[in-house]
Amino acid sequence: MATQTSKLSAQLAERDERLHRLALDKAKLHQRNGVLTKQAGVATQLAAASKLAGERAAEHARVHMERERVLDEQARALRLQLDETAMLLDAARKRCAEGAAVRGEMDERVRVATARAEDAVAQLTARSAALEATAQALRDAQADLSAARAQLEQRERLGDGGAAAKQVEELRFLLLCSSCRKRFKSHCLARCMHVFCKDCIDDMYTSRQRKCPSCGLGFGQQDIRQVYL
Ligand SMILES: [Zn+2]
Ligand SMILES: [Zn+2]
């Protein structure tokens, strides 16, 4: 009996011990469960946070991709503008080169035209000088002519006119009958060829003074001849 009791006591003690250990284990398990629960909560929170972070990252990635797309579009548009600008620049360079060529040609034409104009001006100046010299010579000649005319008029007025009148007088004297000095000579005496007026010869013939008044040579009716001047 005692043995059984001690066995039972031992068994009881052992059971109590096991119960105690079980209780301890349970407490540990409970504690561990709490920890695990906490850890699970933390994990859940972490997962939620991670999910949120993932969503945010996805949003960021989406925004980033959108930005990249926009930037690509802008870059493409800019490349197009750049190509267009390059083409325009090329065309402008070509036009510039053409303009430079045309300007060079125009410059050459202007140079040639200027040279011709300068030649023309030089020729014109030379001709003008020659013309001026000719005009001066003409003016000199006209002045000489005027002076000569003035001299001539003066001579005619003063000296030469008098000489001419004198000459006229001398010729008139030669033409006048040397006997009467009134009428012009019109008849000659054929023997001596002296000339008198008809009236004087008739008077001499009528008055029988039939001798030449100049040389005294006698004459007859047949010697009286008319002269024609
Ligand atoms: Zn006479
Ligand atoms: Zn005579």
Residue 213: which CATH number? 3.30.40.10
Quote the percentage of the chain above a pLDDT of 90. Answer: 41
What is the 17 CA–ligand 1 centroid distance (Å)? Answer: 225
**Domain-embedded: residue 143:** no
Domain enclosing residue 186, as ranges: 177-229
**Domain-embedded: residue 65:** no
Q: Which residues are in the CB-under-5-Å shell of ion ligand 2?
A: 192, 194, 212, 214-215
Kindly provide the residue ranges of all beta strands, DSSP E only, lying in the chain, ordered along the sequence. 187-189, 195-196, 224-226
Between 176 and 56, name the one with better pLDDT.
Answer: 176
Q: What is the pLDDT of residue 161?
A: 64
**Domain-embedded: residue 181:** yes
Between 174 and 17, name the one with better pLDDT.
Answer: 174
**Domain-embedded: residue 92:** no
pLDDT digits (tens, 9 = 90+) for 209-218: 999 999 999 9
What is the 149 CA–ligand 2 centroid distance (Å)? Answer: 47
Question: In total, how many domains does the chain have?
Answer: 1
Q: What is the pLDDT of residue 182?
A: 95
How much is the CA Rg of the chain, to the nearest whole Å? 82
Which ligand is closest in space to the CA of residue 194? Answer: 2
Which of 141, 202, 15, 174 has the alpha carbon at shortest distance from 185?
174
What is the 216 CA–ligand 1 centroid distance (Å)? Answer: 15
Structure tokens at 128: 């003008």
Q: What is the pLDDT of residue 175?
A: 93
Torsion (CA) 121, 122, 123, 125 in degrees, nearest 10: 80
Q: What is the pTM of this model?
A: 0.33
Structure tokens at 189: 């005496």
Which of 187, 209, 211 has the alpha carbon at shortest distance from 199?
187
Q: What is the pLDDT of residue 210?
A: 94
Asked if residue 159 lies in contact with residue 151, where contact means CB atoms within 8 angstroms, the answer is no
Q: Which letter does DSSP use for residue 181 in this model? A: S
Q: What is the pLDDT of residue 134?
A: 63
pLDDT digits (tens, 9 = 90+) for 102-159: 999 999 998 998 899 898 888 887 877 777 766 766 776 677 777 777 877 777 766 6
